[in-house]
Each structure stands twice: as C-alpha cells, then as structure tokens.
Structure 1
Amino acid sequence: MVTGISLEEAVVQMTGPLSPLGTEILPLERTLSRTLAADVAAPLDQPPFDRSPLDGYALRSADLTGANREHPAVLEVVDTVYAGDEARIPVGPGQAVRLMTGAMLPPGCDCVVPQEDTDRGDPVSVFVSLKPFQNYVYQGEDYRKGTLLLEKGTRLDAAALGVLAGAGITEVEVYRRPRVGLLTTGDEVVSPGTPLPAGKIYGSNQMLLAARLAELGVETETAHQGDDPAAVAEAMRELLEICDVLLTTGGVSVGDKDIFHQALPLLGAERIFWRVNLKPGTPAMYSLYEGKPILSLSGNPFAAFTTFELLARPLLAALTGEEGPRWGEGVLDTPFPKASPRRRFIRGRYEHGHITLPEGHSSGMLASLVGCNCLAELPAGSPPAEAGTRVRILLLE
C-alpha cells in the first residue's frame, strides 16, 4: 500500500485500470442527466414541412406590392389551415389561406402576413407589403434528416431530451451508471429523529453524500455500522454484492477506533493507497475487492464532501464514460487568513469570475457549505491569501 501521494497520483491510481461499465438502451423519460454512448442522427427533417411562425395569412408577396392602410391589397380567402392539418389547396394570384401558428404552409405561397396587419375579413384586406419568404419557416430549418443531432458523450439535459423527443426518438443508448454503496461508521453517530444521548451526534454524512450522489443521478444503497471491524467488514461485503462501488466514511485515520485498517484485511480487500497530500481529507484510503473500488473517506463532514468531489467524482466518471469534475479560475474577493503548509481546498461562492468565502472552514463544519458552488485551491506552502489572489477552483456542478 502506497502512503502520502498527491491528488493527481491518487486519481491515476484509481481511474487508470477502470473502464466504463457498459451501455444500456433506455426510454427517454429515464435518461435525464445520463450520457449518450453513441451518436444520434436525425431521423427526419425538423420541421418536417414548411410552416407558419404566426397566426395570419399565407399568400404571394407579389400580391402585396405597395399595400398600406390607405390602399390595402384585397385577397380571396380560399382555405383555413390549423396546426396539425394538411395544407391541400394551393395559393394562386390574388388568393390567401388563413392559418395558425405551426400550420403547414400551402403550395404557391412565399410569405405569411400577421393577422394584426389585416382586417381578418373574407375577402381579407392586407395593410402591409412583405418580402419573399418573410415570416416563412422552411422544412429542415432546425436540422436535416441524417445530420448529427447529438454527439456521443453528450450529457442529456432538458434541452437535449426535448430535441430527441421532437425528432420522434423514444429511446437512446447511454452509459450505465454505477450502483454505489454508501457505508457510514461510528459508535458516536445517532440517526436523526431519535433522542440524542450525551456524547453522541446526529449523522450527516449519509444524507450529505447520498443526496450528492442523487444530484449526480447515481443510485445508492446505504448502511451504517458502529466501530466493530468484523461487523464493518460484513457490511462492506453485503453492499459489494449488489453495488459496483463502495464509499465509506470514518475510521481511516490513526486513532484507536479507526477500524478500516482492520476491517479491510478481514474483508480480503487489497489496499492501494492511504493518505493523500491535501487538506481536508488527508486520511482517504483506496482499496479493491474482487475488482470493485472501495473509497474510504474521512468522517468529518466537510472533509468527506471535499474528498468525494476530488476523488469519488473522477472515479465515477471513469466508470460511466462521462466527463469528470470541471475546473476553472477565479479571484478571491474575501481573504483567507491562514497559511497553507499543505495543499488546501476551501469552500466558496463563485460568480462572474469572483469568489466569496463564508465564515468557518473547519473540516467538521458543514453549515458554511450551504450556498457554496466551488472549492478553491490554495497551493502547498501558501501564505494567508489576500483579496485579489487568483486561484484555481473546482466547480460543484
């Protein structure tokens, strides 16, 4: 087991041997936030016919030359077409077809006049002139049949799903998401909703990380165990039977009850590394059990959250074929008063290139994380950071 490695080395150690878990074909309604495993080509033109962008009249622009309110063009109305109807009657000289937004344009027309610029009569008087193909939506204006609609690797958001549905597509091939086991530990932890005995605390890590996994679209199985190594080893075994990845919190430092040093050998897991050169979350440990990853994080809530973002997210991305965490840069608007002998990550709020910091940065403090959307990196050996310092940030997306 390697000890005391860099964040980058840790990520390589975890993700290097991994590959995506495979793909599955799912109906659109189950693919929000999933990642496409194959290109999707348009099966039709969009729109599939020339259509009207507004309520009005389809006609020939040549019939409106010089039209105004004093001298309107007067046209015979030969048909009415609603959205969803087929336009069957062509527009000839001196004629118009009444139609609604989205309706198919009839043959022979080259523009649509808004109904506000007419008297809506029959025959209809038109008070404006139009250019050829004004207010005219062409077949295939959005995209043509056979063109690349969405690329492999696209994360499916509301807009992408709307595009797919509009093309008549009902199912797509996506990368399979890992099922994650989440095991929290500690004799001191009591479930919310029960009386709180002296010396105990309510557990937040399970809710914190399960909710974060849900935000990322990952299915989670949860469990909690006290500080008995054999019981923890058995709980890990049970979760690994039904999950692709196991995350644990607590029990990875050097105290008398840091029981993963005993539990992992009892399980028969191979420990790959322990301790990463960063703060908070230094004691993070990574193991493998029958090829399945086990990432053990600190029990301090913010430390667990930070190392989840820095380590677990790249691990999950390697198993899904998705893009990993996104990094950027910003300028501190708030000073950070402490020196950083070790590489440090602090919570912050990033907006328009600037970062504001909350009060309270202890690894056990969670309340100050509310409203934060980034982790700001302070390099090892940094003095206290002054306002105006440019820093690298990990975006919490």
Structure 2
Amino acid sequence: MIGIELEQAVELLSNKINLIEDYEEVELEQALGRNLVEDFYAPIYQPPFNRSPLDGIAVRAQDTVGANTDHPKTFKIIETVFAGMASQKRLGMGQAVRIMTGAPLPEGSDAVIRQEEVVFKGEEAMVQKSVSPYSNYCYKGEDIQKGQLLIEKCTTLTAIHLGVLASMGCNKVRVRRQLRVGLMSTGDELIKPGLPLEEGKIYNANTTLLAARLKELGMIPLIIEAQQDDPDHVARKIKEMIPQLDILLTTGGVSVGQKDIMHEVILKLQATRLFWKVNMQPGTPILAMELGEQLILSLSGNPFAALATFECIARPVLGKMSGQSYVYPVKAEGVLKGAFNKVSKKRRMIRGLYEEGDVTIPYEHASGVLSSMIGCNCLIDIEADTPNILEGTKVKVIKL
C-alpha cells in the first residue's frame, strides 16, 4: 500500500477532529500551559499611577533651570514617599519630595533627579544641573492601557502571561478543558518498568515517554496498561476505554508481521481506516482509524519512530483539538555541523541539536534507539531521494 505524505496525514486528521469547547475557571497557579477561552482585556492601567523609576527627588523641572556646579539650586524636602505609599503633598516652587523606586509621584512634580546627583543637607537638597520635564518619569498606563487587548483567546499560557494577568489583579482565568488522551502499548514482549526483566522481554518505554510529552503540552494522559498481542482483548479494551477519551494513541502492532494485530483490531471494532503508512522514515507504519466520532492513532512500537510520528503528526492534531492558537510543527533552518553519510530514499527524520543556527547530529540514530535523543531538541527533515549531506549544508529542522 502506498503511503500518504506527512502534510496530507495531518490535514486529513485535522479535518476529522472536533475542537474541545468545554472550559473551566482555574487559579492562575494551575493555568500554566492551558489554552485561554476568551480574549483578555486590561481592567486597569499599568502602572496604575505616575511613578518614579528610581530613588531620588521629585521636583518641578522649571525650578531646576540654571542650576550648575557654581550656582546649585536648593530645594526644601517636604515629604518622603516609599513604594506602597501615596503622596499627601502637592509641590510648590522650590519644593521637592524624596521618593523611592516605584512610589507614586506627588502632584505638581514632572521630573525625578536620581539621588546620586543630589547633595542632601538635613531637610534640603541641592541640585547642580537642570533637568528636562518628564525626565525619569513613568506615566500612568505607560506599559498597559486600560481596555487594551493583552492576550488573545486560544493562547497557550506561559509564565509571562500568568505574570501579566497577576499584574492586572486577576487570580483566576477561563481556560479550555484539558485534552484527555488515552495511551496504550501492545506487545507480548513488554513489561512494566520496576518489575524484574525477564529473558526476551523489554521495558515499556513508549507509554512513559508519550505520557510525559502530553503533560508538557498541557494535556492529560490516561494510561491503559500494556496489552498482549491478542486482537480480541485489545478491541474489547479500546471499546471499554474510548468513551472516557478525546483521542486514543497506541504504539506497536502496525507493521506487517504475524503479531502486528492492529489491522485485525480495526475489523473487530468495525472502525474506519483513514490511512496506513506515511512517507517518512522512521515511522512509516502509522495506522489512523475513526471509531464513531473519535480518532485512534496507532504508532510504531520503535521508541524513536513513535516519538517522530507523535511530533510530526499527532502533536499538530492534538494542538488543534485543544484550541491552541499556534500550529505545529515549528520549523527552522540551520547549517549542518558534520556530514550525514546516508542516502535518504524516503523522507527521513533524524534527531539533532539546534543551537543558534547550527545543527549537530548524534552518532546513533536507529529507530529503536532512544538514548541518543538525550540532548537533542529537533528533528532534521531530509527530503526523499537526497544523497549524502555534506557539512555546511543548509537543512530544515522541526523544533521539539
């Protein structure tokens, strides 16, 4: 069976999904990585008052005209204002208020002179140079205007977003319900980490890997215990779990071997096969099916192949389902450091490290090897029918 292109697979699946419309109101501390349901407009000015950006004295700029080292101007200090206080005075001619960083400026003042440029003598301050109006002066609303659109709906909230929301006095925010993603690995050879390793068995790494990745993306992984290669049992388990899920991801059983059971599982579920095989390596065997209105994506059992197809196919689809405003995959270009001495007959994804425009390839990149992903932050996207790639060649990368 001829595979479809990577972009075709993403488009086909994206057209099949339904956006999660449910939302909930959560405390800011629980909102990191969540997707905003509605536009957020600033309810107040920021700063909410005219304030000083430094320690010094607040003055009327006109009172400093003509000040120099030979003829300093002397000001009477009528008040000291710290951050968190409100000034109780209005400046008159020749008067100053000693002021600290972040404190509200007193009425009548239009400039601040830093304290290093002031000579203090008791309740007087001498200034040896003139200043322009609004020097060292932070205006009310200089950062944010009241009513300004601050964060657009569907934005995935970062620490910076949460800090801005807190600065607006917001302690709760409406976010889209987290996507519930089922994870199930299949294979007689799999055992749970923590158990003694039996001969011929391997530890199930895929479930842990993908569950952690989903958590990083602000989604809820619902882990289904690894299943043996029994199509009847797997089909029953899927039917049992699918009502609790928004989408199901499985790993293993998608190639053409005697134990590749997911093709038979489709028949037992009476599901609709959307495609099988995508023109990329690793991860060519990926089975997409539709059960009612829900999607099931069955990825390769090889750890790196599973990760590559998750990042290139599942991740953009999950992002769209959860209402994220940005679209994956995030692409860039870089210059290859070192050569890649393999001919790529198929479109190939290899792991790499992207740093300031340079791309480095680890020594080992077999699809069954996961350890060389440590320290990597991208996939290098190599087109089909590409010969050996020389050092210094520009390459396309997909950021992880």
State the TM bucket, normalised to the shorter chain.
over 0.9
2 CA distance for matches of 1:375 and 1:344?
9
Segment of structure 1 superposing worse, 72-81 or 311-320: 72-81
Does the 8 Å CA contact 1:20/1:175 hold for their aligned counterparts? Answer: no
Partner of 1:163: 164
Task: Show the 5 A alignment for 1:232-311.
Answer: 232-311=234-313
Q: Give the fraction of aligned pairs with identical amino acids, expressed as a percent.
A: 49
Q: Distance in 2 between matches of 1:14 and 1:127?
A: 71
Task: Render the CA deviation track for 1:62-91: whole Å, top value 9, x for unaligned.
Answer: 222343455432211112222122222101
Distance 1:378 1:124 in 2: 69
1:378 aligns with 2:382: yes
- Distance in 1, Cα, partners of 2:61 & 2:149: 35
> SS of 1:77's equivalent?
strand
Which aligned pairs between 1:68-147 and structure 2 lie closer than 5 A? 68-69=68-69, 71-120=71-120, 121-147=122-148
TM-score with structure 2 setting the length: 0.94
Matched, 1:16 2:15: yes
CA shift, 1:346, in A, is: 0.6
CA distance in 1, matches of 2:379, 2:100: 51
- In 1, the alpha carbon distance for the partners of 2:94 and 2:3 equals 84
CA contact (8 A) 2:17 2:295 kept: no
Q: Which residue of 1 aligns with 2:327?
A: 324
CA positional deviation for 1:318: 2.0
1:387 is matched with which residue: 391, 395, 399?
A: 391
224-233 or 211-220, which moves further after superposition? 224-233
Q: CA deviation at 1:229?
A: 1.5
Q: Which piece of structure 1 moves more, 198-207 or 121-130?
A: 121-130
RMSD of Structure 2 on Structure 1 (CA): 1.7
Q: Which amino acid aligns with 1:31?
A: A
Counterpart-to-counterpart distance in 1, 2:358 and 2:212: 27
- What CA deviation, in whole Å up to 9, does each residue of 1:130-168 have, x standing for no partner? 211111101110121112212233322111211111112
Find the aligned partners of 2:302 and 2:6 in 1 and give their Cα distance. 19
SS in 2 for 1:241: helix
Cα contact 1:177–1:319 (8 A) shared by 2: no
Q: Is the 8 A contact 2:251 2:306 kept in 1?
A: yes
Where structure 1 has 5 or more consecutive residues not aligned to the other structure, the ranges are none
Q: What SS class does the counterpart of residue 43 from structure 1 fall into?
A: coil
Letter in 2 for 1:324: V
The residue identity in structure 2 corresponding to 1:43 is P
Q: Residue 334 in 1 paired to residue 338 in 2?
A: yes
In 2, Cα distance between the equivalents of 1:394 and 1:239?
A: 33
Q: Which stretches in structure 2 are left out of the alignment for 5+ residues?
A: none
Once the two structures are TM-superposed, the CA of residue 221 in structure 1 deviates from its matched residue by 0.8
Tell me how far apart the structure 2 counterparts of residues 5 and 183 of structure 1 sit (CA, whole Å).
24
CA displacement 1:30-74 (0-9 Å, x = unmatched):
221223332221111111110111122111122223434554322
Contact preservation (8 Å) 1:183, 1:236? no
Classify the secondary structure of the residue corresponding to 2:3.
Answer: strand
**Range with bigger deviation, 130-139 or 261-270:** 261-270
Structure 1 SS opposite 2:280: coil
